[in-house]
Amino acid sequence: MQRPSLPWTWIALAALLLVLPGPARRLLLELAGGFTLLVVLLPLLAAGLGLMAWQFYRRRLRTCANCGMVSLGSSQCPACGSDLDISADGLGFASQGDELDASDVTINVSAVDVGSTPSSDSSNLNS
């Protein structure tokens, strides 16, 4: 079985860089540095572009109030057929008039005493 000659290739390249005169060595080192920079920064650039694309896509997703199905940019739910809340621009962005002012909204909360549950409920849980 023949051994791979890859380590010898790297050793020969390193020796060639030491032997070459100044301008040729500088050119090869610049090329190696550019290639290394490309290998390091290309995945970071791809991840950033992917994140921006996901945010752009996620803004256009609409959830149906009736069945909970998520659809992309349609005016009608594909599962149940109910109308989805789409703004006038057709892209699903809420306009300023659609937002509620927090000072005008009242939230009603009813308190339930947890300790006063009937004992018959606890007997159903045990059986």
The angle subtended at Cα 40 by Cα 38 and Cα 9, nearest 5°, is: 75
Judged against a pLDDT cut of 70, whether residue 87 lies above it is answered with no
Q: What is the dihedral of CA 22, 25, 28, 31, to 10 degrees?
A: -50
Judged against a pLDDT cut of 60, whether residue 91 lies above it is answered with no
Q: Token pair for residue 73?
A: 């940019």
Residue 97 DSSP code: G
Evaluate if pTM is beyond 0.85: no
Average pLDDT estimate for 83-105: 60
Question: Tell me, what's the pLDDT at 88?
Answer: 40
The three-state secondary structure class of 62 is strand
Judged against a pLDDT cut of 70, whether residue 38 lies above it is answered with yes
Counted residue by residue, the chain has a size of: 127
Judged against a pLDDT cut of 50, whether residue 92 lies above it is answered with no
CB 72 within 8 A of CB 84: no
